[in-house]
Structure 1
Amino acid sequence: MAKNLTLGLLQRGDNLALCQGQLIITPKSGEPVPKDWLATNKTKIISEIAQQSQQSIYSYGYYQTGIYYDGRAPGIKVNFIDLLTGEYTYAAFNAELKRKRTTGNKKAGEPLPDGKFHVGTRSSFYMFWIKTSLDIPKRLSEWNKSMSKLKDVYFIAESFKKGKLANKTLTPLSLSEADVYQLFGDNLAISERQASDKTAIRTGDKKQRQEVAISTGDKDIYVDHTSNGLVPDSKCGVKQVRGGEGAGNLSAGAANQEQSNQGITYNVVPLTPIKKAPEEQSVDEWLQDYDSAS
């Protein structure tokens, strides 16, 4: 049994990548990735990448609005889970929490309903949002309807102080297929050597050891394992992007609305509910559910 889910997928020949913070799996079989399987297991896969690299990767948790710094600064706190440590951290952004104009019986200056906020196109929150491939709300006062979409995006960032992230460094993580493969290269080589040692083909009285070649095209992969740190790939090495856009055109730090709307599209199919809860399944059972939906 594979030690983790990510390693299991790589061992069977699937390709994994992250583009603008979104996980993309390209199965060796060519079959589409089951939508529900991906939703259930993507955070586990990203957590394994964080553990393998020993670098924090942040997953969106929830947000809250309030008046901070002794009542002087209205804004929002976007809370993230550090998938390396399991601890919560946050990024704070300025935002308007009062109505800007009078409409009907609702007067300008009155507090917005709980959870609602307004930011302008020059705000730091807006700059943060357009780094992702997520659509921008039609109305800049309706961000509350879109915040849950951040659950599909994984980020890296620098810490400003304990428990707080530096806003300008909060960026969707992009890793090419080669980056992910290199990260797990040692584990893959060991697993494949073990599999090779156990697989003997008998011809007459002679045993021939089955050799496993790891290659990309016609070239073998030689992995430098001096560091497992994550270095964001500015050009996402993935195959499934929205029509008309080449993989080389996708940037992890794209900072304009046009690029923010070029979202990654997943080729997915429905998956029937699994019999066991995900946390109760073995890696082999995860992979079996994955295959049975293809």
Structure 2
Amino acid sequence: MASRIGRFLSCKGKVSIESGRLVVLQPNGKEVDPDWVKNHSTDLLHEILATLKIDAYEYRSYSTGYYDQGKHPGVSLQFRSTINDEASYVVFNVSLTRSRTTKAGKKGSPLPKGHFHVGDRSHFCKFWKSIPLAVPKSLTSFNDYMGNLKNILFTANLTEGRDDGRMDAGSIIPLSVSPDLVRKAFLPDSSPITSGYTPDNIRITTPDTNLALGHTGRPSQPISTACDRSYGKTVIRGRDDTGPNPATRLPKRPQVQTIDEWTVDFCS
């Protein structure tokens, strides 16, 4: 039995992961209804990752403190692997003290718990700017925006020589998997991937080794990477005269359909 994604792709749809988020395109190039994608993205993403054996990471929480035997102030971001559900984390160097005297406290005094400051050229800022999220107006207010990292998939290299799941702070970026790679995985008999084209960044887990593929190309179809996406209206093909009588069966709205129900409607 064909997979749900395979059935959708066979109807000329496109599925990809762009900047850590699922993107589902109709044959006309318009994006599928955002509410439907939101409701089903977890199942579809897991199906893609399991099929391609890609190890991606989901953000869970963060904390601040002094790391590396209490020598360096930092912010620690906790992640969970989608492959084996193991915990991983990354530490970015930040400032945990006030940079100037204000009514809230004197220069050099500790910031409130969970608050931190970063420099514009810091690894943390580079990490944030790689994500389709707006950068806060103040570099002192990132603590108010950390929850926005949820529902974005990341890829990263684990730090060599450590067995505690620590990531390399300079390697963590949102996961991208091209439509061509997804199609090749679910429809292996379809036309081959364009020569020299590989996914933007993935960590593929195989029984013997981990292979991190570098950037060698981009999809020809431009995809918006803004945090608030602008989606086209869902287009569901109408049934012909041989289908069920509309008087006896009212179709569900795409937003409340299951993946299987939606795929059947889409491909009918």
**TM-score normalised to the size of structure 2?**
0.72
- Alignment length (residue pairs): 232
Aligned position for 2:154: 155
Cα distance in 1 between the residues matched to 2:49 and 2:219: 19
1:134-180 Cα shifts (integer Å, max 9, x gaps): 22111001112222222243221111133111122212222221121
Matches within 5 A, 1:1-294: 2-3=2-3, 5-28=4-27, 32-160=31-159, 161-162=162-163, 163-186=165-188, 189=189, 214=190, 220-221=191-192, 231=213, 233-237=215-219, 239-242=221-224, 265-267=229-231, 274=256, 283-285=259-261, 287=263
Judge conservation of contact 1:119–1:125 (CA < 8 Å) in 2: yes
In structure 2, C-alpha distance between the alignment counterparts of 1:121 and 1:146, rounded to whole Å:
16
**What is the rounded CA distance, in whole Å, between the counterparts of 1:165 and 1:97 in structure 2?**
21
For 2:183, what is the secondary structure of its paired residue? helix
In 2, the alpha carbon distance for the partners of 1:20 and 1:31 equals 18
Q: Shift in Å at residue 25 of structure 1? A: 1.3
Amino acid at match of 1:180: V
Deviates more, 1:133-142 or 1:151-160: 151-160
1:71-112 Cα shifts (integer Å, max 9, x gaps): 222211111121111222111111111211111242222222
Separation in 2, partners of 1:75, 1:222: 43
Q: Which one has a larger percent helix, Structure 1 or Structure 2?
A: 1
Whole-Å separation in 2 of the counterparts to 1:105 and 1:78: 26
Unaligned runs of 5+ in 2: 196-203, 235-252
Alpha-carbon offset, residue 9 of structure 1: 2.9
Percent identical across equivalent pairs? 28
**Alpha-carbon contact 1:175-1:233 (below 8 Å) kept:** no
Q: 3-state SS of the aligned residue for 1:148?
A: helix
Q: What residue ranges of structure 1 are gaps of 5+ in the alignment? A: 190-213, 215-219, 243-260, 276-280
> By how many angstroms is 1:125 displaced?
1.1
TM-score, scaled relative to structure 1? 0.66
Once superposed, what is the RMSD of the aligned Cα atoms?
Answer: 3.3
